Amino acid sequence: MEYFQSRTGVVLNEEVWKKYGPYSCTLNIDEVDNIDDTWAELSAKIDVPVDELKNSIQTVKEMFIVLDHTRTVLITISDGSLPSNVGGGGNVRNILRRAFAIMKQRGWWDQMDGMNGFIEIFEQHKNDLEGIYGKFPEYKSFRSIIEVEYERWLTTDEAQTISLKKLLQKKKNKLSIDDWIIAMTSWGIPVDTIARLSGTPAPGNLYYEIATRQEKVMKAPEKILYSTLHLPETKSIYFDDTHQMDFTGKIIEVFAN
């Protein structure tokens, strides 16, 4: 956060955030029918004009999104995953493209010297997480993977764009959430391109819906490898003492293979 703020000038308005904090849960996008009405109600409750409230919250929120998404991308790619159009790789691609889009829209991409500054965010994550995971091993092609994804995000295939324009014409520029998801996941069109061509902002719950649907598609039936019904229930001792850092266990059964 310190690195990001120093390079972009993002400032946290502490007075607004102190008032907003207790009500932050009311903006859960998957639980709100009309997000604009919720902003208005929140504005009245904490006595802060809607525009000032949105600007103070949204700017910092989008900084958190970029930092959260880049950390996730760092961990998943370091663990061997790659961005793609399906499954977990689809999630990696979606959140990486979301980070690109926010960086561009906010002007942060240019402020941070483009790709160099973006890659530095990952380096800062490594430093931040070293105390938990230890030193990250060298991943020589990591930057290349991010650069390829960035180029793919920038260059949308002409045929796919034509398909989107035909869809927009058919729907009179009113896309449903299903249309957005098809254009993004099946046609590979970046969300900001869809927003620009349609003249409408992306639905607030778009990424939530994509992740939820992909989870349902990819969820495999649970495999029961061994019957453990005759064994005593595991004691969740971390509920008894959250500060306990070690424990003694007893082996009560060994299964073949």
The 10s digit of each residue's pLDDT in 208-227 is: 888 777 766 655 666 777 78
Chain-wide mean pLDDT for the chain? 85
CA atoms in the 13 A half-sphere facing the CB of 118: 26
How confident is the model over 72-97, as a mean pLDDT?
87
Rounded distance between C-alpha atoms, residue 153 and residue 65, angstroms: 18
Check residue 121 and give its pLDDT.
Answer: 97
Query: Residues with Cβ < 8 Å from 217, sequence gap 6 or more?
Result: 87
The dihedral through the CA atoms of 110, 113, 115, 121 has a sign that is negative
CB contact at 8 A, 180 and 203: yes
pTM above 0.85, yes or no: no
Check residue 123 and give its pLDDT.
Answer: 96
The 10s digit of each residue's pLDDT in 185-208 is: 777 777 777 888 888 888 877 878
Highest-confidence segment of 92-96, 121-125, 163-167: 121-125
Two tokens at 70? 């880049």
Please say if the pLDDT value at position 158 is more than 90: no
CB contact at 8 A, 127 and 158: no
Contacts 24+ apart (CB under 8 A), 71-77: 71/125, 71/129, 73/99, 73/122, 73/146, 74/122, 74/125, 74/126, 77/139, 77/142, 77/145
Q: What is the DSSP string of 173-236?
A: T---HHHHHIIIIIS---HHHHHHHHTSPPPTTHHHHHHHHHHHHH-PPPP--S--TTSPPPP-
Please say if the pLDDT value at position 70 is more than 60: yes
The 10s digit of each residue's pLDDT in 144-153 is: 999 999 998 8
